[in-house]
Chains A and B, each alone.
Chain A
């Protein structure tokens, strides 16, 4: 079974990046499922943990530092997710299943590359390298 990835994409940057990428008709991993969110800062950890229970990998992509449309949503999200990652490690889970990415709307290609990279990491191809 190829790994499933749930991608929470901030609609101001990452979701737009995906749209920009989509115009080039890329081939993204079949298990990748995008989900739009209003701001990474509004993403509740309960939702992230539920996603982690359902998919092999969870990607959260938001705006680069200083570019948040709500001033500091990405900053808060960064703190929340870092805390969650620590909790995951403490619980013996692999924190690498949660990937956080900061990118602007213009970086569609990078988003594509990062999704593939994450996919390969999850498929154990790149582990340890």
Chain B
């Protein structure tokens, strides 16, 4: 096999730290042809690369990291039908990590790769058919946006929501940062549009139970819990809510713009289900929409792709004992406040009256190693917005306790100026404790808040009527379950990791699965819409194809060596291996080529073609012999 080595100078980045001339000489002595170019990635360099390769040759590129230009040269090599291709990061793994020994390191990298080259084998590309339907998990703003965009292409879109109503957290927002525009005015048209799209099928009160099949042809089982109200018949008059004798009513239709426009009966509170024979709602309903006899239903869907938009939840601040959430009256979270504003509920302070002094506690649990080590970025803006609304609507004195103010978008600063002009006070420091025990006699009947002001010495005491805790964002409950059903990788905080943070933010490592919204990290409304639509676009591009090409046949099974212990089947994280009467069977569309099976095999009967054991052993051999 003829082998050609291409060395890139990277405009001096490599050539100034490595003696490429000597390297060329050293490699040429072992019988390979070495070619050098000042910028192999440039159009001119690529033309140089193409012009010098003959089909069937093996190619080794020594340039930058394969994460950067790997795909460039790999695609070219594939086009030129080379037998084997490999790339080593001459720049990051030799030229840039130390003057001393750089040359030796480069030589070892290249020699190692050269000796392994005959063993690398590219996986085969195979075509798989695609089912033309899309499943979206999560009916929050990201999922909605994705569904609306995707539905324009006429393919069936299934939108699954765990709660009884669509819209997620966005429907319970009152005003939006930073312009304080009405949230419902922006969100409700999207919700209405949803019911006009004929090809969107909504599943509320539903969850994904099972995911089978393979990318491009998933088979999904949904479980739909009963609503006990037929949304087809109900026209949302709300008469049933008024006659329900339970307090609070066992029927709810909470969101200001409910979709579907039909209440849900909570069986745990309903007298009918307690066997007390109540059926007042049924009697009053002129549309005969109440269905006490409903049972959970299973739905089986066939889809080609899945968008995961499971969203976030606020950090459970009751985990911070010294803030007293859920223990002290008058301690609420920002999300409680939004809901109260949105549903026009009266706010009550510690003593039950309207609050006159309010503390807004930023970063409740955020940037704290014991709780959330990260900053959610969006909450500062939300907190500022809440402070201004409290000031304007209740004429309350508002104190903001913050660590650093992180206000996004150009309008953020203007909002901060407005807040200061309206008399909101800003105290830089962390709140140490919120307590019902007054430190001063005149503070009786108020909450006492101990905090440090880092801009002034010492700890100080404030007495307030209402405390609004501003929690950070954590992944929504149940996202772990979705991750394990779909084989997604959550990061260490539980958010889904995209394939590439910056350049492929909605793709995942799994083919035919995309992520949208705050499921991949804290996002505000506009970012959620953006990522929802981006995911829809990716999904459409994928589903539009007649078939998709995927790397297959990663694994080689040597029947004679196999001891039939099937450890490989056990360790495969993607359930791609199974035992058949003919031996080991690899489900090609599920296999990701991670190589866990090969490393688990006690008899060495499995070989991962693109990076077999032999390639590593040869590399090490070459390293030992290199100077």
Please state if B595 and A25 are interface contacts (CB–CB under 8 Å): no
Contact yes or no, A76 B596, CB < 8 A: yes
Known contacts A22-B92, A22-B97, A31-B101; A76 and B571 CB within 8 A of each other: yes
Cα distance, A35 to B86, chains bound together (Å): 13
Q: Does B624 contact A (CB under 8 A)?
A: yes
Chain B residue at minimal CB-CB distance from A26: B97
Selected interface stretch from A60-68, A86-94, A121-129:
A60-68
Q: Mark B588-604, 1 if CB is under 8 A from A, else 0.
A: 00001111101110001
With contacts A30-B100, A70-B596 taken as known, whether A42 is within 8 angstroms of B608 at the C-beta atoms is yes
Q: Does B491 contact A (CB under 8 A)?
A: yes
Given contacts A33-B623, A76-B571, are A22 and B91 in contact (CB under 8 A)?
yes
- The distance in angstroms between the C-alpha atoms of A16 and B592, with both chains bound, is 20
Residue pairs across A and B with CB atoms within 8 Å: the count is 136
Pick the contact of A22: B96, B497, B617 (CB < 8 A): B96
Q: Which of B104, B489, B509, B613 contacts A44 (CB 8 A)?
A: B613
Quick one: which of A18, A22, A39 contacts B596, CB cutoff 8 A? A39
Q: When the two chains form their complex, are residues A35 and B619 in contact, meaning their CB atoms are under 8 A apart? A: yes
B67 within 8 A of A: yes
Q: Please, which residues of chain A bring their CB within 8 A of the CB of B571?
A: 76
**A window 23-51: CB within 8 A of B:** 23, 25-39, 41-47, 50-51
Kindly state the separation between the CA atoms of A39 and B608 in the bound complex, as whole angstroms.
12
Cβ of A101 within 8 Å of any chain B Cβ, yes or no, is: no
Shortest CB distance B374–A (Å): 12
In the assembled complex, A110 has its CB within 8 A of some CB on chain B: no
- Residues B65 and A19 in contact, CB atoms below 8 Å apart: yes
In the complex, what distance in Å separates the CA atom of A6 from the CA atom of B626?
13
Contact A72 B599 (CB under 8 A): no
B89-A72 in contact (CB<8A): no
**B574 in contact (CB, < 8 A):** yes
Q: Per-residue CB proximity of B387-415 to A under 8 Å, as 1/0?
A: 00000000000000000000000000000
List the A side residues contacting B573 at CB < 8 Å: 70-73
Bound: A70/B554 CA distance, A: 15
Q: Is B292 an interface residue (CB 8 A)?
A: no
Nearest CB to that of B99 among chain A residues?
A: A27
Asked if A69 is an interface residue, CB under 8 A from chain B, the answer is yes
Q: Which residue of A lies closest to B491 (CB)?
A: A67
* Choice from A18, A45, A65, A70 contacting B97 with Cβ under 8 Å: A18
Would you call B231 an interface residue if the criterion is a C-beta within 8 Å of the partner chain's C-beta atoms? no
Whether B97 contacts A21 by the Cβ 8 Å rule is: yes
Interface residues in B434-466 by Cβ distance below 8 A to A read none
Residue A99, interface by CB 8 Å: no
Q: Check B594–A19 contact: CB distance below 8 A.
A: no
Q: Which of B93, B109, B593 touches A38 (beta carbons < 8 Å)?
A: B593
Distance between B141 CB and nearest chain A CB, rounded to angstroms: 28
**Could you tell me if A76 and B600 are in contact, using CB atoms closer than 8 angstroms?**
yes
Residue A120 CB within 8 A of the other chain: no
CB atoms of B98 and A26 under 8 A apart:
yes
Q: Could you say which residues of chain B place their CB within 8 Å of the CB of A37?
A: 611, 616
Closest to A46 in B: B613
In the complex, what distance in Å separates the CA atom of A88 from the CA atom of B130?
50
A70 contact set on B, CB distance < 8 A: 573-574, 592, 594, 596
Question: B487 near A71 (CB under 8 angstroms)?
Answer: yes
Partner of B574, one of A25, A67, A71, A80: A71
Instruction: Report the Cα distance A41→B619, complex, angstroms.
Output: 19
B interface residues, tally (CB under 8 Å): 47
Could you tell me the distance in whole angstroms from the C-beta of A18 to the nearest C-beta in chain B?
Answer: 6
A6 touches B594 (CB 8 A): no
Q: Is A38's CB under 8 angstroms from B104's CB? A: no
Q: Of residues 90 to 114 in A, which have CB atoms within 8 Å of B's CB atoms?
A: 104
Within 8 Å by CB of A54, from B491, B497, B599, B620, lies B620
**Which B residues lie within 8 Å of A47 (CB)?**
613, 616-617, 620
In the complex, chain B residues whose CB is within 8 Å of the CB of A21: 97
**Contact across chains for A44 and B599 when beta carbons are under 8 A apart:** yes
CA distance A19 to B90 in the complex (A): 11
The answer to whether the Cβ of B140 comes within 8 Å of any Cβ in the partner chain is no
Q: Digit string of B89-129 for contact with A (CB within 8 Å is 1, else 0)?
A: 10111001111110011001100100000000000000000
Question: In the bound complex, do residue A30 and residue B596 qualify as a contact, i.e. CB atoms below 8 Å apart?
Answer: no
- Which residues from B are CB-within-8-Å of A16? 67
> What is the CA–CA distance of A22 and B489 in the complex, to the nearest angstrom?
27
User: Given A37-B611, A46-B617, A25 and B96 touching (CB < 8 A)?
Assistant: yes
B490 near A: Cβ within 8 Å? Answer: yes
- Residue B274 CB within 8 A of the other chain: no
Name A72's closest neighbour in chain B (CB-CB).
Answer: B573
User: Contact string, B69-99, partner A, CB cutoff 8 A, digits 1/0?
Assistant: 0000000000000000000010111001111
Q: Does B52 contact A (CB under 8 A)?
A: no
Q: How far is the CA of A108 from the CA of B94 in the complex (A)?
A: 15
How far apart are A106's CB and chain B's nearest CB, in angstroms? 10
Q: With A and B bound together, what is the CA distance between A69 and B600 in angstroms? A: 18
Q: What is the distance, in angstroms, from A38's C-beta to the closest C-beta of chain B?
A: 6
Q: Does B492 contact A (CB under 8 A)?
A: yes
Interchain CA distance A37-B620 in the complex, whole Å: 13
Q: Whose C-beta in chain B lies nearest to the C-beta of A115?
A: B97
B554 CB, nearest partner CB in chain A, Å = 10
Q: Are A73 and B594 in contact (CB under 8 A)?
A: yes
Q: Are A67 and B623 in contact, with the CB atoms below 8 A? A: no
List 20 interface pairs A-B (beta carbons < 8 Å), by A numbering. Answer: A6-B620, A16-B67, A18-B93, A18-B97, A27-B97, A30-B105, A33-B108, A36-B89, A37-B611, A38-B594, A38-B610, A44-B599, A44-B616, A47-B620, A50-B616, A51-B620, A64-B492, A67-B489, A69-B497, A70-B574
Q: Which residues of B contact A (CB under 8 A)?
A: 65-67, 89, 91-93, 96-101, 104-105, 108-109, 112, 487, 489-492, 497, 509, 571, 573-574, 592-596, 598-600, 604, 608, 610-611, 613, 616-617, 619-620, 623-624
Can you list the 7 inter-chain pairs with the closest CB atoms, starting with the nearest? A42-B595, A30-B101, A70-B594, A71-B573, A22-B96, A22-B92, A47-B616
